[in-house]
Amino acid sequence: MSTLEQALKRSKKLFVDGIFFEQLRNLVQIVTDSKNSRCAEDLVVYYTRGLSNILTELGIQTEIVENPIKNSPPFLIGSRMESPEFKTILLYGHGDTVPLQEGQWNEGISPSDLKIIDDKIYGRGVADNKGQHLINLLALHSVLRTRTKLGFNLKIIFEMGEEIGSPGLCELCEAYKEYFISDVLIASDGPRVAIDVPTIFLGSRGALNFELEVNYRSGAHHSGNWGGVLSDPGIRLSNALSTIADKNGKILIDNWKPTSLSSSVRERLNLLPNTISDTLDIDENWGEPGLSSNEKLFGWNSFSILALKSGNIDVPVNAIQPSAKALCQLRFVVGTNANEVISSLRDHLDQQGFTDVKIITENAINFQASRTDLNNVWLQKVENILEKFYRDKIHVIPNLAGSLPNNCFTDILEIPTIWIPHSYKECSQHAPNEHLPINLLESSLLLMTNLYWNLGISDHKN
């Protein structure tokens, strides 16, 4: 009789025999930079040469679907239907990555190949997101090969545009709503709260990018001849920015503050460790006063200036610049009216006397905030399974501090979402030297093998 122990042994063997590393190397060697790909077709190789064999062995019938958004990467969808009496789990992953940043990695490491150094494995996509969805797929393999069935139905969505804002994903979910009917989404992205403790998060903060620009004239003018009589766009923009957030990062626009930091959310956040990072000291006095660091990160909104420009700081000239520009971002949780963020900013700037500051929102990468309810039955089920396997309490956060296209699943497909990350905060995601510890990868594979096994037992049926 097949047992969970046999499935776990099968998953362990994937590391002992090096199969996991071979599979991940194959995925990493397929360059999938969605920001710099020449055309959408270049990214399809990840489906055909990367995931095809893995999904075929799982008995998943797949189809490559054109993106509803013109010139955007296609999607890979599929299903394995074992019984109409079983629950259906939706699996999501993204195969695209940020740019390789070649030449910036440590000596001897190529971002488009796998490199093992000591107890860590390096390569672009190892943490975000190739390594994470490979863990889930191989865990499913171990369960299926051990007992010849999953015990639940499986549907999949893979995309190649998450790093550019997931264009077309919500439209795909709307068009294929009947196809994607499921009971829950279980997927993996983002980092754990602590590297050695399994984490569940239920959604993500939204992100809204925009530019602020002050543009007065066509060219720079000598500061000796014109200083004191020509308006300086850099000074004007700096003062405008100071009215959005104070010197300690507190947001000063009331409509930008959320209404969702409830007692149940606070209770969950208070169970998390107070130390956010072992390698980076946080600024306790930064952000909203009166909130803990976890409440600021997971339960509140934050305003950031991502880039600021007036003139060329590397080759400065003694001149009053004609323009100044700032690229800004608001990260926000549910309970924030995203549709009023820009209009509230416009009203605020006008009231502060900055009618000359232009707001530019074209071509911005935006995500909506979303969150599954903390009382959802699927959270209780998955949390119990993971804690029994881990033999201790795990970390549960209402939402990731970063952003994901989670609202496509919660708002359009109307299903609860359970995210189980297999990464950690110091993984250098989106930076040179992206990596994951091998122990984390192996323990995550065992964790997911156990989860899928237990979700497929008899009490998972209708």
Residue range 437-461, pLDDT digits in tens? 999 999 999 999 999 999 998 544 4
Q: How many residues does the chain have?
A: 462
pLDDT of res. 275: 67
Q: Are 28 and 60 in a shared domain? A: yes
pLDDT digits 0-9 by tens, 8-65: 999 999 999 999 999 999 999 999 999 998 777 789 999 999 999 999 999 999 999 9
Average pLDDT over residues 109-131: 97
CA distance 161 to 107: 30
pLDDT of res. 344: 97
Residue 462: which pLDDT band, with cuts at 50, 70 and 90? very low
Q: Are 147 and 200 in a shared domain? A: yes
Q: Are 17 and 127 in a shared domain? A: yes
Q: Are 140 and 34 in a shared domain? A: yes
Q: Are 399 and 356 in a shared domain? A: no
Q: Are 47 and 140 in a shared domain? A: yes
- Count of structural domains within the chain: 2
Picking from 305, 336, 360, the residue at the C-terminal end of a domain is 360
Positive/negative CA dihedral, 396, 401, 402, 404: positive
CA distance 207 to 396: 21
pLDDT digits 0-9 by tens, 348-393: 999 999 999 999 998 777 889 999 999 999 999 999 999 999 999 9
- Enter the pTM of the model: 0.92
Task: Return the half-sphere exposure (C-beta side, CA atoms, 13 A cut-off) of residue 127.
Answer: 26
Q: What is the CATH number of the domain that holds 255?
A: 3.30.70.360
**Tokens (6 digits) for 213:** 């620009």
**Tokens (6 digits) for 253:** 């626009």
Q: What is the CATH number of the domain that holds 22?
A: 3.40.630.10
CA distance 423 to 189: 8
Look at residue 187 and give its three-state secondary structure: strand
Arithmetic mean of pLDDT over the chain: 95
By the 10 Å C-beta count (0-12 exposed, 13-18 middle, 19+ buried), 181 is classed as middle
Q: Are 59 and 44 in a shared domain? A: yes
Residue 277: which pLDDT band, with cuts at 50, 70 and 90? low
The CA-based angle 377-334-240, given to 5 degrees, is: 165
> In which domain, by residue range, is 256 found?
206-274+282-360
Q: Are 197 and 345 in a shared domain? A: no
Picking from 309, 330, 360, the residue at the C-terminal end of a domain is 360
pLDDT of res. 281: 81
pLDDT digits 0-9 by tens, 189-244: 999 999 999 999 999 999 999 999 999 999 999 999 999 999 999 999 999 999 99
Q: Are 198 and 212 in a shared domain? A: no
Q: Look at strands 184-187 and 88-94 and give their pairing.
A: parallel
Rounded percentage of the chain residues whose pLDDT exceeds 90? 93
Q: Are 135 and 87 in a shared domain? A: yes
Question: 2 vs 88, which has greater pLDDT?
Answer: 88
pLDDT of res. 349: 98
Q: Is the pLDDT of residue 148 over 80?
A: yes
**Tokens (6 digits) for 367:** 């995500």
Q: Are 354 and 422 in a shared domain? A: no
pLDDT digits 0-9 by tens, 278-336: 667 889 899 999 999 999 999 999 999 999 999 999 999 999 999 999 999 999 999 99
pLDDT of res. 460: 45
Question: 345 vs 461, which has greater pLDDT?
Answer: 345
Picking from 360, 378, 404, the residue at the C-terminal end of a domain is 360
CA distance 18 to 25: 11
Helices (H), 276-374: 293-298, 341-351
Q: Are 9 and 109 in a shared domain? A: yes
User: CB atoms < 10 A from the CB of 379, how many?
Assistant: 19
